[in-house]
Amino acid sequence: MKSFISVLNLSKQDVLSYIVKANNMKHGPLCKFPNKTLITMFYEPSTRTSCSFQAAAIKLGCNIINLTDKVSSVEKGETLEDTIKTLNSYGDVIVLRHPLKGSSERASHVSKVPIINAGDGNGEHPTQALLDIFTIYNEIASFEIDLDSEKRNKIVVTFLGDLKNSRTIHSLIHLLMLFPKMKFIYISPPSLEIPQEIVDKVNSFPNCEQMVMDLDTAISMTDILYVTRIQKERFANERDYYSVVLNHNHQQYCVDKEIMLHAKEKMIIMHPLPRLHEISTELDNDPRAKYFKQVENGVYMRMAILDTLFNLS
Ligand code: NCD
């Protein structure tokens, strides 16, 4: 029984083998696990994570049970622990999204079946980080750049948006740090900066540089531009949210055709989605825009994750 809670226990070798496996999933194998049941338990909204886990499970031949907070007994006051113990009788793996940081870890302490963390508040989103690094690996390979090579030039990854609350960025940074010659640029509205604990962690890796910059300066040196929305649901109240959103110049944190004129030809734009206004739809046909490629890759990577897990159990 092996839960998938955090990227922190993954080695570079683990990441590379997930990438190989996900690439193989593009050609099958199909319907390997007709006796397995996947339970999705989503206590926060989700389109991609929830549906791609279901799509992955369907391709692997599994059965599916879906539960959301709107229809579960949490509405009647049931604890997370009791719900998890109950679901243990119905399936072989639980994919959990929950608004509280640390909730997947909590669930794993009482669960007899593996828990997959599908986002715990502003904590982590490890399966998204794997599909993101899978996308990065494949896309830069198409520029003949090997993510894992010591000989290549430095890769500049610019993170733009709500770096404080973006769990996808928190997890992705940890995976990128495993690879050689990385440079991270952080661009965020005031009060939504990258958490200090992540800055300290990056500092302890000699192969990584990091700095704060503005988008106008960073754009021309960026190889991977990773954009994220301001996570409204993480603010204590609407007033706090609007005070951040209204007190800065939005344009500085948005990507459009104009700013992309200054970007390299061989670079990529990523976003975990949903996007609001931070990437203009006029960029969707730009060959550098890879956010819908991430969506597609999510199915292959989640197949690889489920396959690994079921082969272990
Ligand atoms: C992200 C999430 O839920 O953290 N979405 C996703 O899983 N693809 C990003 C977001 O909600 O902004």
Active site residue 49: yes
Kindly report, residue by residue over 237-248, the tens digit of the pLDDT: 888 888 877 766
- 168-181 confidence digits (pLDDT tens): 999 999 999 999 99
The answer, yes or no, to whether any atom of ligand 1 lies below 6 A from the CB of 168, is yes
Whether 239 is catalytic: no
Position 25: which residue type? M
Task: Reply yes or no on whether the pLDDT at 62 is more than 70.
Answer: yes
The ligand 1 atom nearest the CA atom of 44: 3
Q: What number is the average pLDDT over the span 63-77? A: 89
Distances in Å between the alpha carbon of 50 and those of 90, 149, 288, 300? 18, 34, 26, 14
Residue range 222-233, pLDDT digits in tens: 999 999 999 888
**Closest ligand 1 atom, residue 49 Cα:** 7
Substitution site in 168, 192, 230, 231 for ligand 1 pocket (most atoms within 8 Å of beta carbon): 168
Average pLDDT, the chain: 95
In tens, the pLDDT along 206-226 reads: 999 999 999 999 999 999 999
pTM, to two decimals:
0.96
Q: State which amino acid sits at residue 267.
A: M
Instruction: Please pick, among 36, 97, 164, 170, the residue that the annotation labels catalytic.
Output: 97
Find all residues with CB under 8 Å of 53, minimum gap 6, and list them.
38, 40, 95, 116, 118, 302, 306
CA of 131 from ligand 1 middle (Å) equals: 12
214 CA distance to ligand 1 middle (Å): 24
- Rg of the chain (C-alpha set): 19
- Active-site pick, 36, 98, 106, 125: 125
Which amino acid appears at position 213 of this protein? M
Residue from 184, 167, 166 nearest 224 by CA: 184
Q: Is 125 a catalytic residue?
A: yes
Query: In angstroms, what is the span from residue 101 Cα to ligand 1's centroid?
Result: 14
pLDDT above 90 coverage of the chain, percent:
86
Hey, what amino acid is at 94? Answer: I
Strand bridging mode 93-98 / 115-120? parallel
Statement: residue 73 has pLDDT above 90: no
